[in-house]
Every structure is written in C-alpha cells, then in structure tokens.
C-alpha cells in the first residue's frame, strides 16, 4: 500500500510539474510562435503572436501581445499591441466563446472579408485606443483613438462587428465618406440589418453635431433629429457641384433638421449667419416629397456669383401639391424685395400672389439678352404674378452697344405670366411703368412711360412715351408670340432733335436742329438667324422746323 501511495504521489507531482512547465512554457515566445504557425497552417487565417501572458491576479484572463491577423490572400484584418481574452463558463461547450475580448493600441479593418468570419465570439468586444478602417462601397471610414464596447460580439461573414448588438463608440478623430469630424460619440444598436443610432454627436467643420437617426435594411435613412450649430464649412465646389453630392445619397427622411449660425463658402457662392429649420421631408434621387413639411430660414448674406441677398427671410409649407411660400423678404441691390405665393408640382408653376420691389439700384447683367433666351430649369415651367408693384427703383444697363438708365422707376402689373414652357417672356397680363428721368444711349428724356397688355397671341404696347427738352416722343407697338417674336413699331417725335434716332442705331439724318419724326419699323426681337438689326425693315420721315424733309428706308 505504501508503494501504491508513493506511486500516486509521484504521478501527481509529475502532473503538477508538467502543468507548471506547460504554464511557464506557454508564456514563452517559442510557444507563441508555435501557436501562430499551427493556426496559420491549419486554418484560413494568418496569425502572428509575439507573446502570451497570464497573471494570477486576474486568473480568468490571458493576454496576447503583438498580434496580427489576416485572412489568406486578403488585407490585414487586425493589428493590436495587446489583446485580453476573458474566459467564461460557456467555453466548456463552446471553446471559441469568451466572456470579453479587449483590443488595445492597434488597427481593426471592419471591411467584410470574403467567405469567412472571425473565429471567436464574446459577450463583449471592447476597443481601447484603436484605429478603425473600412473601404467598401457603403462606408469609407478612417477613425483614430477609438474606444468602444459591443455587446454581444458575434462576427459574421458580412459584418465583422456583428449583426445584432448594442454599442457605444467614441473617436478622437474620424473621416466618414470624406467628411472629417472629431470628438465623435455614438450610441446605438444593430438589429436585423438595421442601424439604430439612439444618440450621436461630434465636432464638425468647427461646429457641433448632435442627433438621433436610423438606417433600414434597404439602406434608407430616417433622421429623427439632427442639429448642426456654428458650422464653418469651406469647399472648392460650385453650388451646383455641392448640391449634386447629395443626389447620390440613399433615400433620407428628415423629421427635424436644424442648422444654427452656419457659414458656408464655396466657389463663387457663400451663405453667412444662416439659421435653417426643416421638418418632415423625404429626399430621394435628387427630388423631395412631403405630406406636412416646413422650411424656414434666415441669413445675413446669401451670395451666388453676382447675385447677393442681404437679410433674406423665408417661411414655406411643403405638401404633395408643392410649396406654399408664406413669407419671403430680403434686401437686394440696395432696396427691398417681398413676395408670397405657391410652387405647384403638377405643372412646375411658380405662382406669386404679390411681388413688391422698392428702392432697388439694379444693374442688368452684361449678357442679360442671352440669359433671357435661355430655357428655365426642368422644375420651373411657368412664372405667374398676380400683382406686381415697383417703387422708386433705379435700372441700369452698362452694355456698351446700347447703355441706358431709368431713375425713380415705378410700376404696376397684374395677372402677368412671365414664363411659359420654360421660356421667359410676357405671355399674358398687363403692365404699366414710368420713371422720372432716363438716358438711352446718351439721349436724355423725362417722364418715360410704358403700358402694355399681353395675351397668348401678341403683346400690345399701347403707350411708349417720353419728354425731351422741347418735345415729345411716343410710340405704339405690337409683338407677336410666334417664334422669333415678330414686331411692328409706329414711332413719332414732335419737336425733338432730328438726330435722336441716329443715337439709337438709325442711319444719319442729313438735317439739323429740332423737328418731327415718323418711323415705321418691323423685325424680330429674338432673331435666331443673326443680329437683331439684320431683321429690321423700316421707313423714316423727318421734317425740320424750316420745312425741309427727308425720307429714308432700312435696309
């Protein structure tokens, strides 16, 4: 019996010694290298571990140091200075399932690899001072100084971080799909291919971002709440290029979006001190829809090229029918502009109840003739103004071929259809304009006045008159609505300088002093075949005070 007892004691001591030797040997670099080679040779992964350590102060945990992991023939998935693996009772039946896995001081590529998932799972995955990277079609991600917790962690082929979990995430800096941010904080969950962000925030473009949002399985987004404040954004893009960036986004439904004290600047455009609030709108494929939405904004300045609005304020209501403009006011070109009305989606018609312009000092663009003939965008087929009023305006054209200036321009218009089939014009309605003084190509006149009525067939200019120092100019005209805008003009000048029409493009009149003029003229206002003057035909009769007369033809 003594022999058997000694034998059993010896075997026990040898077993303990073997365990101790294995425990000590397991924490050597040789053992770490052997384990790395065995896993690399017998799996689809390439693993490298510099050292394995264990401390009896934390007996439930082992630590791997200097770890790299990659799938065969794929970019590196993981590089970490240290990985802590905490054991759980569940490992008795599932050896690869840990209580927690902690990755420290390294880089994790969260892009899904092809055909295989990570070989371990855990109740909790923790990231400590890690970098996250992804470069797939949906997420272009580069995040630094990441601390995160994911519960549970069950990686799949399609999702390295799992498909059903709750998470908390913070990053010192992050670039997501080309948008840089810092001090990022995110809390949410992934559930059946849905991403639910219960709270997120970041420092973005020198401002602050907070919000609540979710992404459905089909990739569409629901923004419950998004708030951007004190943003200072600069971009090299034009306004059109900047807008086009958003047309490629998946469908987005916005319940509430607030932009507070923002400053945005791009190539030839800028918005300063912008406050904007948007509610209940869905954006998809460059278009929008809304059942009961609203948009309101105000800004210090809004600049697009030479177009500059000061202190614009706008409030609109959005519906399936279109847009209701309840208020739009702004200071523009030194004066005030005010309007209200509707934009109707069914016929792309902008229907304004009233447009009021006062004290403007407006210089026409040098190419305003060309701009007038260009078609309007697809979303704007018609422009209709029920009531137009202008008061004390200054209108200037600096075109060297025919400059003009009208001061103290007042006017009234009603039922004006100013665009039809995406083309500017005067398609219906009535308009009356008059000024205190004017200069037309170096010819000064007083009290210029114009009155017209338009319908679908023609524009009838019933009054076109002005006073000269000792005489009067008056005319009547008719402009057809046919292509090219054929027109006829009957012009009379009484006791006016006989060279008046010469300043306006007519040939030299071989008479001096004042007299009477009678001109009959016809042509095309929009001459597509050549210059405007090449379409003209006319007959002039001039008579001086001394009784001399001249008749001239054009051409």
Measured at the CA of 446, the angle between CA 445 and CA 451, to 5 degrees, comes to 100
CA atoms of 490 and 518, how far apart (whole Å): 8
CA atoms of 385 and 449, how far apart (whole Å): 21
Residue 31's φ and ψ, nearest 5 degrees, are -65, -40
pLDDT given for residue 147 in this prediction = 95
Residue carrying the six token digits 């050896």 = 95
Instruction: Render pLDDT for 212-223 as a digit per residue (tens, 0 to 9).
Output: 999 998 889 999
pLDDT given for residue 16 in this prediction = 42
- Stretch (H or E) spanning 331: strand 322-332
Q: Are residues 353 and 476 in the same domain?
A: no
495 Ramachandran zone, left/alpha/beta (phi>0; psi -120 to 50): left
Q: Name 434's Cβ contacts closer than 8 Å, sequence gap at least 6.
A: 409, 410, 411, 447, 448, 449, 450
Enclosing domain of residue 136: 31-204
Q: Are residues 424 and 311 in the same domain?
A: no
Burial of 64 per CB tally in 10 Å (0-12, 13-18, 19+): buried
pLDDT given for residue 14 in this prediction = 43
Q: Are strands 361-363 and 382-397 parallel, antiparallel or unpaired?
A: parallel
CA atoms of 143 and 109, how far apart (whole Å): 10
Does 337 reside within a domain?
A: yes
List, in sequence order, every residue forming a beta bridge with 103; answer none if it has no partner: 83, 127
Q: Name 321's Cβ contacts closer than 8 Å, sequence gap at least 6.
A: 344, 345, 346
> Which DSSP string do the residues of 248-300 spell out, in sequence order?
TSPPEEEEEEEEEEEEEEETTEEEEEEEEEEEEEEEETTEEE-SSEEEEEE-S
The two tokens of residue 536 are 């003209």
Q: Are residues 360 and 474 in the same domain?
A: no
CA atoms of 343 and 379, how far apart (whole Å): 10
Does 21 reside within a domain?
A: no
Does 451 reside within a domain?
A: no
Secondary structure of residue 451 in the 3-state scheme: strand
Composition of the chain by helix, strand, coil, percent to 5: 10, 60, 25
Q: Would you give the DSSP letter of residue 75? A: -
Check: pTM over 0.85? Answer yes or no.
no
Does 538 reside within a domain?
A: yes
Instruction: Count Cβ atoms below 10 Å from residue 247 Cβ, excluding itself.
Output: 11
Q: Would you give the DSSP letter of residue 511? A: -
Rg (CA), the chain: 39
List, in sequence order, every residue forming a beta bridge with 445; answer none if it has no partner: 438
pLDDT given for residue 554 in this prediction = 85
Q: Are 261 and 298 in contact (CB under 8 A)?
A: no
Q: Are residues 190 and 86 in the same domain?
A: yes
Distance of CA 131 to the CA centre of its chain: 30
pLDDT given for residue 370 in this prediction = 87
Give the domain-ending residue among 405, 436, 467. Answer: 467
List, in sequence order, every residue forming a beta bridge with 493; answer none if it has no partner: 473, 517
Q: Are residues 352 and 415 in the same domain?
A: yes
Q: Are residues 478 and 546 in the same domain?
A: yes
Q: Are residues 117 and 192 in the same domain?
A: yes
Q: Are residues 160 and 107 in the same domain?
A: yes
pLDDT given for residue 78 in this prediction = 84
What is the number of structural domains in the chain? 4
Residue 243's φ and ψ, nearest 5 degrees, are -65, -40
Distance of CA 506 to the CA centre of its chain: 50
Does 1 reside within a domain?
A: no
Q: Name 542's Cβ contacts closer than 8 Å, sequence gap at least 6.
A: 498, 509, 511, 515, 516, 517, 518, 549, 550, 551, 552
Does 506 reside within a domain?
A: yes
> Which DSSP string do the residues of 165-224 spell out, in sequence order?
EEEEEEEEEEEETTEEEEEEEEEEEEETTEEEEEEEEEEETTEEEEEEEEE-TTS-EEEE
Q: Are residues 270 and 175 in the same domain?
A: no
pLDDT given for residue 57 in this prediction = 64
Can you count the helices (H) and strands (E) in the chain?
5, 33
Give the domain-ending residue among 267, 288, 322. Answer: 322
Helix 29-42 with 2-26: angle, nearest 10 deg: 80
Between the alpha carbon of residue 196 and those of residues 150, 252, 488, the distances in Å are 14, 14, 68
Does 211 reside within a domain?
A: no
pLDDT given for residue 98 in this prediction = 86
Query: How many residues can be counted in the chain?
Result: 555
Q: Are residues 474 and 496 in the same domain?
A: yes
> Which DSSP string do the residues of 420-449 spell out, in sequence order?
ETTEEEEEEEEEEEE-SEEEETTEEEEEEE
pLDDT given for residue 27 in this prediction = 52
Give the domain-ending residue among 422, 437, 467. Answer: 467
pLDDT given for residue 248 in this prediction = 80
7 Ramachandran zone, left/alpha/beta (phi>0; psi -120 to 50): alpha
CA atoms of 129 and 65, how far apart (whole Å): 15
Residue 240's φ and ψ, nearest 5 degrees, are -65, -40
376 Ramachandran zone, left/alpha/beta (phi>0; psi -120 to 50): beta
Does 381 reside within a domain?
A: yes
Residue carrying the six token digits 């995955």 = 125
The two tokens of residue 348 are 């792309």
Q: Are 278 and 257 in contact (CB under 8 A)?
A: yes
Q: Which segments of the chain have a pLDDT < 50? A: 6-7, 9-26
Residue carrying the six token digits 């384990």 = 35
Q: Are residues 224 and 198 in the same domain?
A: no
Q: Are residues 255 and 337 in the same domain?
A: no
Residue 123's φ and ψ, nearest 5 degrees, are -60, -35
Residue carrying the six token digits 């102060």 = 57
Tell me whether the omega of the peptide bond preceding residue 289 falls within 30 degrees of 0, making it cis: no
């Amino acid at each position: 019996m003594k022999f058997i007892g000694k034998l059993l004691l010896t075997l026990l001591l040898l077993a303990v010694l073997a365990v101790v030797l294995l425990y000590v040997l397991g924490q050597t670099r040789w053992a770490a290298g052997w384990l790395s080679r065995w896993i690399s040779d017998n799996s689809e992964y390439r693993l490298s571990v510099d050292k394995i350590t264990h401390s009896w102060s934390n007996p439930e945990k082992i630590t791997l140091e200097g770890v790299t992991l990659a799938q065969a023939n794929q970019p590196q998935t993981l590089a970490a200075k240290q990985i802590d693996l905490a054991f759980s009772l569940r490992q008795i039946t599932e050896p690869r399932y840990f209580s927690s896995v902690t990755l420290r001081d390294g880089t994790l590529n969260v892009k899904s690899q092809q055909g295989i998932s990570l070989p371990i799972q855990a109740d909790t995955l923790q990231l400590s001072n890690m970098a996250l990277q992804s470069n797939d079609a949906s997420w272009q991600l580069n995040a630094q100084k990441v601390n995160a917790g994911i519960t549970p962690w069950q990686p799949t082929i399609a999702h390295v971080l799992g498909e059903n979990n709750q998470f908390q995430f913070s990053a010192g800096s992050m670039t997501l799909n080309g948008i840089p941010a810092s001090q990022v904080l995110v809390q949410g969950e992934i559930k059946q291919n849905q991403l639910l962000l219960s709270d997120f925030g970041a420092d973005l473009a020198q401002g602050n971002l907070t919000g609540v949002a979710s992404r459905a399985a089909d990739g569409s987004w629901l923004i419950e709440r998004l708030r951007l404040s004190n943003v200072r954004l600069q971009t090299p893009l034009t306004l059109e290029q900047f807008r086009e960036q958003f047309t490629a986004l998946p469908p987005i439904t916005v319940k509430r979006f607030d932009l507070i004290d923002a400053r945005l600047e791009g190539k030839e455009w800028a918005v300063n001190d912008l406050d904007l609030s948007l509610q209940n709108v869905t954006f998809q494929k460059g278009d929008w829809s809304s059942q009961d939405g609203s948009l309101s904004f105000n800004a210090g300045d809004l600049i697009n090229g030479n177009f500059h609005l000061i202190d614009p304020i706008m409030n609109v209501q959005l519906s399936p029918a279109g847009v209701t403009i309840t208020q739009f006011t702004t200071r523009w070109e030194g004066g005030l502009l005010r309007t209200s009305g509707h934009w109707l989606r069914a016929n792309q018609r902008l229907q304004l109840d009233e447009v009021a312009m006062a004290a403007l000092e407006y210089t026409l663009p040098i190419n305003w003739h060309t701009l007038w003939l260009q078609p309007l965008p697809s979303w704007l087929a018609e422009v209709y103004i029920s009531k137009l009023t202008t008061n004390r305006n200054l209108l200037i054209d600096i075109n060297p071929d025919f400059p003009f200036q009208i001061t103290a321009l007042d006017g009234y218009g009603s039922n004006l259809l100013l665009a039809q089939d995406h083309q500017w014009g005067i398609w219906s309605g009535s308009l009356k304009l008059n000024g205190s003084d004017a200069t037309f190509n170096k010819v000064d006149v007083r009290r210029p006045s114009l009155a017209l009525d338009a319908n679908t067939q023609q524009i009838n200019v019933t009054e076109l008159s002005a006073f000269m120092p000792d005489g009067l100019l008056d005319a009547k005209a008719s402009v057809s609505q046919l292509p090219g805008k054929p027109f006829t003009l009957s012009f009379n000048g009484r006791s006016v300088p006989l060279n008046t029409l010469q300043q306006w493009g007519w040939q030299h009149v071989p008479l001096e002093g004042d007299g009477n003029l009678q001109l009959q003229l016809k042509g095309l206002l929009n001459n597509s075949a050549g210059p405007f003057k090449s379409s003209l035909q006319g007959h002039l009769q001039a008579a001086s005070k001394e009784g001399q007369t001249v008749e001239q033809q054009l051409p």
